[in-house]
Amino acid sequence: MRTNFVLIDSENVKPEYLEKLKHEHFQVRVFVGAHHKRIDFAIVNAVQSLGSNGSYIQISGHGPNALDFHIAFYIGKESAADPEAYFHIISKDKGFDPLIRHLRNQEIFCFRWPSVLEIPSLKSTDSRVKTADKVTATQRAAEFYKKRIASSTARPATIKSLQSAINSHFNKRLSVEDVAKVLEALTAAGRVMVNGKKVTYPRGSLLS
């Protein structure tokens, strides 16, 4: 499974639900400010419970966007080492969005969520977020695969064409973020494998 880097902007959101990231494919980095001297015990305990998959990064500079630049640097560093990785910025700061759009144009899978619980691969395994009046990314992925992929011989061969097919299937009513969630749900369930810009469709999955 792809590595998922979870980069938490602790100046913008409180690091919560870290216990849900206790999986080998999650790498958690909690970014803290240069003047941040004390960290809540519950947060420290949660990060430590992740073992080598969890760590803190204290920024060395000052300024209103200093922490944002550090997160951007680490995305660049880790994406160069692992081009197939997913990057999840946990922050409510919309200032990250232009960077994220640029990264996606470079075929780097980067997303911003206001909470760890919004990460699609966690949603697919957490029944608490599956409600009768809200269609989840996993449910959309299952529908899309069944109706558009399973019985078709003309399957999208690239990430771009697959995203376009997802958008078209749902009558172009999904946001860019929702399309990305469906794509991630497909890959998390094993319906799609991504190799660079290409996609393939292995047999067997977790979707029903």
Whether pTM > 0.75 for this model: the answer is no
- Residue-wise DSSP of 102-162: HHHHTT-EEEEESSGGG-HHHHTT-GGG--TTS--HHHHHHHHIIIIITT-SS---BHHHH
What pLDDT is stored for residue 55 in this prediction?
Answer: 93
Stretches where the chain sits below pLDDT 70 are: 37, 123-134, 204-208
| The pLDDT value given to residue 34 | 75
Per domain, the residue ranges of the chain are: 4-118, 127-200
Are 4-118 and 127-200 in the same CATH fold?
A: no
Q: According to the CATH classification, is domain 127-200 in 1.10.10?
A: yes
pLDDT score, position 190: 87
What is the per-residue pLDDT for 98?
92
Look at residue 149 in the predicted model and tell me its pLDDT: 92
Structure tokens belonging to residue 24: 């080998």
C-alpha distances out from residue 10 to 58, 92, 98, 197, Å: 10, 10, 20, 33
CB of 202 closer than 8 Å to CB of 193: yes
Specify the CATH number of the domain 4-118. 3.40.50
Model confidence pLDDT, tens digit, residues 157-192:
999 999 999 999 998 888 888 899 999 899 888 889
pLDDT digits (tens, 9 = 90+) for 98-114: 999 999 888 899 999 99
CA angle, 180 as apex, 23 and 100 as ends, to 5°? 90
CA distances from 173 to 62, 101, 129, 138, 189 (A): 41, 19, 21, 17, 23
